[in-house]
Each structure stands twice: as C-alpha cells, then as structure tokens.
Structure 1
C-alpha cells in the first residue's frame, strides 16, 4: 500500500538538519501532516588489513552520552560522490589513505522519519600518512580483529547503524 504525498513545507532548515511537514494520505483515506527529518547523506568505510582486522574509532556521542566503537564516517559534501566522501573521511579521521573503495552495503536507518542514506564501503591496503586531521573525532583509533566484532556488538560496544550494518555485512563476506 502506497501513501500519497500532497505537498510538503519546511519548518526548520540549516546545513545539518532540516525538519519538514509532509501532507500525506494513508491508503485508508486518513490525511495528515507527517514530520520528516531531512539529512545530508553519510559515507562509511570499513578498512580491512591483511590480518583480518578492521580500523575503528572509540568515540563519545554527546547526544546519547555513550562511548562506542565506530567505523570512520562522515557527511557527503555538495559535489562529492559517496566514494569520494568515504576516502576523505577515512583519511581525515584516522590518518589512513586508500586509493579506492568498493561498495559494501547501502542502508536507510530510520526511513519512517528521515531520508538519511548510508553508503557503506570496504577498503583494503591502506597507507598510514600521519595523525588524523580531525582531532575531535575519536579518543582512540585501533585495528580490531574481525573475530572480536560479534562479541563487541553483543556487548553494545558498537551501536551506530552505519557501523552495525557495515560490520555485519563484512562478517558475512569474511570467514573469521
């Protein structure tokens, strides 16, 4: 069953988050204004080395006041492809450079309320080029064995949706 959109209007807009009211009609005929959060899209990258380890960041998220492991990720800038954003964010946040990434998985983590798209990539054979340019992103940057990822997820040490879907899909591809 498809909902029909009759129009939309912005309530609040800035460069990070936009709140819109969308005039929708449900299949049963009920019509109302639904809140929609419009966000810039996200690129995520899983850099895997030849020892079957993935590069991750230990960071604090003030919104939920939690610490957790995450894959390097960031917003896709205007005029930038998701692949370019993944390569840029990896280097800015970790100091590791890759020449190319390949698509791993795509997701829309909360598509009932937001239009956010997460493009998750896999990279291999990175080169360390120096300390991260983004000094406020992570408390630690470490290579984590893929064999430990499942336990970390079970202990809620990995909770961001971009990291979760990327790591779980990575585990499907990589026997550990």
Structure 2
C-alpha cells in the first residue's frame, strides 16, 4: 500500500442507519495536510451467482429497480446477512430467486461496486449442476421478479441493448464470453 496516499480519519458522524445501507460522513486529513469530508455508504456486502442450467443456459431474473425507474435483467444476487458466509448467501439467493439448487458452487472473484463512495463488496459465484426444487424458499415479501433462462448469445445481446445494464451481470456475461461457456 502506498502510505503517502492515505487519508487519516479525524471524525465520523453517522447520518443514516437503514435496513440495507448506512451513511456516514468522515472528516479526513489529506496526504497534503489539508482537511476534507467523505460521504461513505456502508454496506454489509453481497453475492451474485452465475447459474448455468444443464442445457447451458444462464438463469437470470428481471426486476424493477426503483432508483432507475425501470426493470433490469440481472443474475441472481442478494445481501449478506450479519455473520453469514458468502457461500451460504449464494445458495439461499439462488434458491429464493430462481427455484434452483446446485451441487457445484464455486467462488470466482470478489469486487467493489463503487469504491469512490461505498464499501460494498460483491462475491461472484458460478453454480453448475442445477436442480429445480419442488418447494423452493420464498422470495422476500417486498421482492417481485420474473425468471429468464437465456443463452450466452442472448445475454450478450441484452448487454448491447441495455436490458442488462448493471455491472455485476455485465461482468458475469464477460466472464462467460472469455471462458467460452
């Protein structure tokens, strides 16, 4: 780590504590000795799952995203619960959002979504050997979505036409394209 770039926290003020995020404002001392403030979104982290059916289709969900005022097609994903391991979250979200379970779940990579203002990290998994459950776990009470199973070519086209417009899903499609799934 380049020590000469580090900002030292002088004070932290909690502005908002929510169900999904917290917002804090930190006063910091900059590397040049000046002071500034940083607005930071604290998030517990999340998982996202590239789920591949036995027919080599990608399981996606379409849901309304209020901040954007539109629906998006995305890979299944969800927030980590307090103290929960990412693999547990990935299995739960896969079942809740798609009705599938899997015998092969592997971590691929973890990445920060917006490090300029948030500490959210997403743990990306790939799920293979999917099996449709007869009685899957139910969605959260405020969650509504449609399930889609698409080919890699269809997913690539959805990126082009902005039906897939979020970073985690675009990243997943790029991963699959690079690895010729």
Normalising by structure 2, what TM-score?
Answer: 0.88
Q: For residue 160 of structure 1, what is the aligned residue in structure 2?
A: 166
Q: Is the 8 A contact 2:104 2:129 kept in 1?
A: no
> Number of paired residues?
175
> Within 5 A, what are the aligned runs for 1:138-157?
138-157=144-163
Once the two structures are overlaid, the 10-residue window that deviates more, 63-72 or 10-19, is: 10-19
Q: Are residue 106 (structure 1) and residue 83 (structure 2) matched?
A: no
The equivalences for 1:114-129 within 5 A come to 114-129=118-133
Kept in 2, the 8 Å contact 1:57–1:138? The answer is: no
Unaligned stretches of 5+ in structure 2? none
Q: Distance in 2 between matches of 1:61 and 1:93?
A: 15
Question: What TM-score, normalized by structure 1, do the two folds share?
Answer: 0.90
Runs of 4+ in 1 over 4 A off after TM superposition: none
Picking from 49, 52, 63, the partner of 2:53 is: 49
Alpha carbons 1:42, 1:74 under 8 Å: kept = yes
Match of 1:25 among 7, 10, 29: 29
Gaps in structure 1 of 5+ consecutive residues: none
C-alpha distance in structure 1 between counterparts of 2:71 and 2:135, whole Å: 22
Query: Is the counterpart of residue 173 in structure 1 residue 169 in structure 2?
Result: no
| Pairs within 5 Å for 1:82-97 | 82-97=86-101
Greater shift, 163-172 or 109-118, is seen at 163-172
- Aligned equivalents of 1:47, 1:129: Cα separation in 2: 14
